[in-house]
Structure 1
Amino acid sequence: MGAPTPRCIIVRHGQTEWSKSGQYTGSTDIPLTPFGERQMVRTGESIFSNNRFIDPNHITYIFTSPRTRARQTIDLVLRPLTDEQRSKIKVVVDEDIREWEYGDYEGLLTPEIVELRKSRGLDQERSWNIWRDGCENGETTQEFGLRLSRAIARIQNLHRKHMEEGIPSDIMVFAHGHALRYFAALWFKLGVEKKCEADWELKDVESYHDESVPYVKLDKYRHLIDNPNFLLDAGGIGVLSYSHHCIDEPALALAGAFIPPPEEESQHAKV
């Protein structure tokens, strides 16, 4: 084998005042706390300098939410890299990977959301589940799933191209708690598949501006109907990849950021 199997490395931004308190933070653009800044500096030193879990020369793209807390996190994590290494990484700001639009629940705690919904006569037969029920005056799970499905399609398309060219390709995604857990679930093809039929599903959305990233038109997408039961704390990192060196077999890399030599990858047979 030549180049290692491509990976998608997801990074949740560092601590903010609202991630610390548990308040739902979607469109509110707040910065990292001083602890969150130190947290992400340590993360960058660990994965690039001390343990070298990620080879910076293998990073082809970084996709980021437009929010300040995500973009701050990139700068802090990449601090150990040289100017030359950073200059070779394309950073794409993508609205499709912004956090869930929480609508009426922005800034609230979960118990407060539950009480608000109860006061409006909702959830009389079953408890609120954001993964299924979405947010009042915010996004439905279908809307959230569609835009994350678009982002995944673009990243997997780039990975396919890089694999065909024999280029090592780690693509990093810097975003948020709900967005990245949802993203990971869709990567594994969890949830349900939905055909694009409504106007809002068929619409071409300009969520980013980079001619090197081809737009992938979807005729179907996936969305969740229940909690995927994934955890990703502020500052956390997860690694998504593919089984058998095949883009059509997305998988979780249980070894995390650790990099085995290509010849040691478990890609030799379907078991």
Structure 2
Amino acid sequence: MNGSSRGRRVVFWRHGQTPWNLEGRFQGSTDIPLTETGTAQARRAARLLAALSPDAVVASDLQRAADTAAELAAVTGIEVVHDAGLRETYAGSWQGLTNQEIQEQYAEEYRAWKLGEPVRRGGGELGTEVADRAVPVVLDAVKNLPDRGTLVVVSHGGTIRMAIGRMLGLDSYHWEALGGLSNCCWSILGEGARGWRLLEHNAGTLPEPVIGDDT
């Protein structure tokens, strides 16, 4: 679609850096704040995203996402709607552990997850269940956009990957084909004639390591 006929857009924006990102700990639904660097990342990215003239912003209610979204609200004046449906995957006993600790304590579970099998990591949610709760939040917000409007969704790396995979119509096994997002980077979906299309992925900075739960 060319610029004169594009439909609505959804910008999926991952939260800024947290202490547990730096320590390599699985965050999941644990409510971890941003670091000072994470706040600075959000502030910088917010100025870039403001140039997209967003019409609405919806965010996870976890502190790291809510505080990231607040930086965009500060430069756009848009009121952020918070929704628990956009939280990161609940991963039970994995939460708070480092990647190495997870591999040592849950070797079979970790191996199965990496092979793409449906796994309740730490006794938590399946990826498809995360998509089941997150995508309706996004689509409900899209319904309220004007024609050619833009929605910014502030969420978490794993949840964003699963939501994008579902909205693109990919089988859950293939969601892994979508690379992870670096802190405070974003991906953009646009409406096409046959559904949603991936327009940009992991945009917003020079390439940086992806540090998060879903890597």
TM-score, structure 2 normalization: 0.80
The equivalent of 1:154 in structure 2 is: 140
Match of 1:141 among 127, 149, 161: 127
Contact 1:37 1:73 in 2 (8 A): yes
Q: Which runs of 5+ in 2 are unaligned?
A: 205-215
> Distance between the aligned counterparts of 2:126 and 2:140, measured in 1?
22
**Deviation sequence 1:194-235 (CA, Å, 0-9, x none):** xxxxxxxxxxxxxxxxxxxxxxxxxxxxxx235233220111
> Distance between the aligned counterparts of 2:101 and 2:60, measured in 1?
26
1:17 positional shift? 0.5
Match of 1:74 among 69, 78, 83: 69
Q: Which runs of 5+ in 1 are unaligned?
A: 192-223, 259-271
> Distance between the aligned counterparts of 1:44 and 1:152, measured in 2?
19
> Distance between the aligned counterparts of 2:26 and 2:202, measured in 1?
27
The equivalent of 1:103 in structure 2 is: 92
1:181 positional shift? 1.3
> Distance between the aligned counterparts of 1:170 and 1:41, measured in 2?
19
The equivalent of 2:106 in structure 1 is: 117
Contact 1:104 1:137 in 2 (8 A): yes
Contact 2:109 2:121 in 1 (8 A): no
The equivalent of 1:240 in structure 2 is: 189
Contact 2:128 2:162 in 1 (8 A): no
What is the CA RMSD across the aligned residues, in angstroms?
Answer: 2.7
TM-score, structure 1 normalization: 0.65
**Deviation sequence 1:60-80 (CA, Å, 0-9, x none):** 321110101111111123333
1:152 positional shift? 3.9
Query: What aligned pairs does 1:221-260 form with structure 2 within 5 A after superposition?
Result: 224-226=172-174, 227-243=176-192, 246=193, 248-254=194-200
Q: Percent identity?
A: 25
Residues 236 and 257 of structure 1, relative CA distance in 2, 3 Å threshold:
closer
The equivalent of 1:210 in structure 2 is: none
The equivalent of 2:35 in structure 1 is: 33
1:133 positional shift? 1.6
What is the count of residue pairs matched by the alignment? Answer: 200
